[in-house]
Amino acid sequence: MSQTWGDFQAVVQLSAGLNVAILSFVDISLPAIKERRRVFAKAQQELDMHRSAPGKVTSAAQLEHDCQVDEMNQKLYLLWKESSSFSNEEDSLIHSTGILGFIGAALSLFLLWYSAEYYDASISVTGKFVIGLSFCSLIGAFIINFMTASQASVFTKQCNQIREQMRQKL
């Protein structure tokens, strides 16, 4: 007995629902991305305040302070440099998620219509493959957003550590 599109309609409905929901996956990584950018701006602002702080009582204390500010500036710059290439990838990854979401949603909605139209028709291996493909876009988008959010939070944590060092040393 061959399987029909009707036998797979529940799977197609699940695929359609999840792939339409994929469009909201960007919400997974956007808060982490915004937080990373905010923390970097705040760290730079704090460093600028320390740099322009009133002079120390002695020139030796001022020299030591300036060296510490330069050290923190170097750490912050190196972290910014490392994260700036990620920032470009970040925008590209979010764009890719939107494309995957749209393709997956369109494919799933087409499959939903097709399975309803040909409910009693026999499903081919190609049909099963296309249903599987509709789930792959969901998995791809989720992985992309999870990795983006994870990397953004790593940079945020490192930046916050530098800010803490600034508070302690400066």
Query: pLDDT tens for residues 81-111?
Result: 888 888 778 778 777 777 777 787 788 888 8
Question: pLDDT band at 1, cuts 50/70/90?
Answer: low
Q: How far apart are CA 36 and CA 44, in angstroms?
A: 12
* pLDDT exceeds cutoff 90 at 157: yes
pLDDT of residue 58: 75
Taking only the tens place, the pLDDT of each residue in 32-65 is 888 888 999 999 998 888 887 766 667 888 888 8
pTM of structure:
0.70
Q: How far is CA 127 from CA 3, 120, 158, in A?
A: 11, 14, 48
pLDDT of residue 162: 93
The mean pLDDT value for 21-28 works out to 68
pLDDT of residue 75: 92
Taking only the tens place, the pLDDT of each residue in 118-127 is 999 999 999 8
pLDDT of residue 159: 93
Residue linked to tokens 């600028």: 48
Smallest CA-to-CA distance from 11 within 127, 165, 96 is with 127
130 CB-near residues (< 8 Å, 6+ apart)? 107, 111
Question: pLDDT band at 131, cuts 50/70/90?
Answer: confident
pLDDT of residue 122: 92
More confident residue, 22 or 49: 49
Strand spans (E) along the chain: none
